[in-house]
């Protein structure tokens, strides 16, 4: 197995272990249909007193397409004003072709956790950065880590930043329960989801990796970034 795939699979295991340690895995209605580890597609969700939804989505198409991808998103409960944790990565055998990481605002652009995130990426500027479309600039911070065709020496740096930020996030979010008006947080989280749903690349990539198009369309509409109904 290639070095980068080994690093990313270990990163996936770090996320799952961390979620298992602090939260309870839940059976989200409808998600089981998209949790198909035997087909290389994993979808699992956790929740606790601070986290409304911690979702990990992995597509392992190494054998068929030479590609491995992972999506992780953590939403606070609607009474918690912590930012939204996001990490997406896709990699071929020899390199990460795309990596995206951010602490996106819920209701406060100046939230202390976002400042901690800024500090974590202060010294890391990928050699090649992607220009973001409007739907992305609507919701991501100005210091979103967005890299493509990542150099081999940058792989470990990106993974280290993300894993350290995961630990920081899971620890810090516990301080912000009941710090937000529920309606305000609901509106902010739905705005984030609605903009994410405009991303055309995720379903296109998933289909290109061999997942059934009708399942991908349903998954991206209802399960990847589901809005909260009032």
> What are the structural domains of the chain?
3-224 (3.40.1500.20)
Rounded to whole angstroms, how far apart are CA atoms 58 and 43?
A: 7
pLDDT of 93-132, one tens digit each? Answer: 999 999 999 999 999 999 999 999 999 999 886 666 667 7
* Tokens found for residue 200: 């055309």
The pLDDT, as a whole number, for residue 188 is 97
Q: At how many degrees (to 10) do helices 152-172 and 3-22 cross?
A: 0
Q: What is the pTM of this model?
A: 0.95
Angle between helices 112-121 and 152-172 (to 10 degrees): 160
- Give the pLDDT of residue 8: 97
Spans in the chain with pLDDT lower than 70: 125-130, 230
Q: By C-alpha distance, which of 228, 217, 162 is closest to 192?
A: 228
Q: What is the pLDDT of residue 127?
A: 64
Res 104: pLDDT: 98
């Amino acid at each position: 197995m290639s070095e980068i795939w080994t690093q990313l699979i270990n990163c996936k295991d770090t996320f799952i272990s961390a979620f298992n340690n602090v939260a309870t895995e839940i059976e989200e209605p409808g998600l089981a249909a998209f949790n198909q580890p035997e087909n290389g597609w994993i979808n699992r969700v956790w929740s606790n007193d601070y986290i409304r939804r911690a979702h990990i989505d992995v597509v392992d198409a190494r054998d068929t397409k030479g590609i491995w991808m992972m999506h992780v998103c953590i939403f606070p409960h609607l009474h918690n004003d912590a930012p939204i944790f996001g990490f997406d990565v896709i990699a071929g055998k020899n390199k990460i072709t795309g990596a995206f990481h951010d602490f996106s605002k819920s209701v406060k652009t100046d939230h202390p956790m976002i400042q901690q995130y800024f500090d974590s990426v202060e010294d890391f500027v990928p050699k090649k950065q992607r220009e973001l479309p409007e739907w992305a600039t609507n919701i991501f911070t100005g210091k979103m880590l967005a890299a493509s065709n990542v150099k081999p020496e940058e792989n470990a740096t990106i993974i280290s930043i993300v894993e350290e930020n995961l630990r920081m996030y899971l620890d810090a979010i516990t301080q912000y329960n009941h710090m937000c008006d529920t309606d305000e947080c609901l509106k902010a989280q739905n705005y984030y989801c609605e903009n994410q749903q405009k991303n055309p690349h995720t379903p296109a990539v998933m289909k290109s990796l061999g997942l059934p198009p009708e399942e991908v369309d349903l998954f991206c509409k209802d399960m990847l970034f589901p809005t909260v109904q009032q």
